[in-house]
Amino acid sequence: MRSWRGTSASSCWARRWLSTMAPIRCVGAITGPGKGLRRALSALSFQISRGLWKKYGDKRVIDTPISEMGFAGIAVGAAMAGLRPVCEFMTFNFSMQAIDQVINSAAKTCYMSAGLIGVPIVFRGPNGAAAGVAAQHSQCFAAWYGHCPGLKVVSPWSSEDAKGLLKAAIRDDNPVVMLENELLYGVPFELSEQAQSKDFVIPIGKAKIEREGTHITLVSHSRLVGHCLEAASVLAKEGVECEVINMRTIRPMDIEAVEASIVKTNHLITVEGGWPQFGVGAEICARIMEGPAFNYLDAPAVRVTGTDVPMPYAKILEDSSTPQVKDIIFAVKKVLNI
């Protein structure tokens, strides 16, 4: 086993793919060295692409003006022309500036051209709640992009996820949105020998059982998988065994993995950082209600979500607006009536 941080996994595999696949390009603001204000902004960014420009140069790593609509359009056009660009948003909140390029140009072109024009592009960057960056920089876009046909949406939790899903996304012939979380960039994760292999890849659309259990199923993605595992550890001391599922992919969703777990545990809680209305958890619950696993539920499915408000700036309010470990524990005890 080897310990890798999230930034290391993403950066390492961006390097490997740049070195082995000629069509790949990295496009985005603050990807190159810059001067003055750009150098200062680079210090504030997450530097997943650090060092790539120096090694591969302007033709492979394209440092653009801070215009999301502009550089996303360049990247989509490059994909249509046969390249495989990786378009980096400093944060997915800024992808709203480029929503037309992501939804109307990238996601729909293959369908509207009857399959004649493919758009093999990866849009990646941090997503969801961070720390002290307030309402305009703390949104979760999993449900936003998961709603759109033509896109694939992945949401890694661990370094293994980041490595394997980025590799799968770059290989995929469809546009893929990769929703990372900046609070995970500095977190070390154990990476197995298998995951360190150059051939390791995680198929898009496959969930992973992070912890097996028999009493209740906890389903989550991204950073809140860790919260679920913490809650499961606490509850295990009280004799409650939680099964924790890391969805990894939002679209296409591995609902079969959730159904199989419910058959075993007979209870379901979904956990997400996004708002409650029309969220990822709502979709999971609806799919379960419509399918055969509904007959195995001994209690109604419950959602643990972010609060239905714009993210506050003050830490005490921020914490009350995002799911905490104690909220998951409370929900489990409520569902199990203990």
User: Which sequence positions are flagged as catalytic?
Assistant: 68, 137
CA atoms within 13 A on the CB side of 85: 26
Residue 335 φ/ψ, nearest 5 degrees: -65, -40
* Token code pair at residue 275: 């708002």
Task: Please give the backbone phi and psi of residue 167, each rounded to the nearest 5 degrees, phi first.
Answer: -60, -45
Q: List C-alpha distances in Å: 5 to 152, 258, 326.
A: 25, 28, 26
Residues 62-87 as b/e (b if ≥16 CB within 10 A, e otherwise) read bbbeeebeebbbbbbebbbeebbbbb
Chain CA centroid to CA 99, Å: 17
Nearest to 123 by CA among 95, 83, 164, 82: 95
The packing angle between helices 159-171 and 6-20, to 10°, is: 30
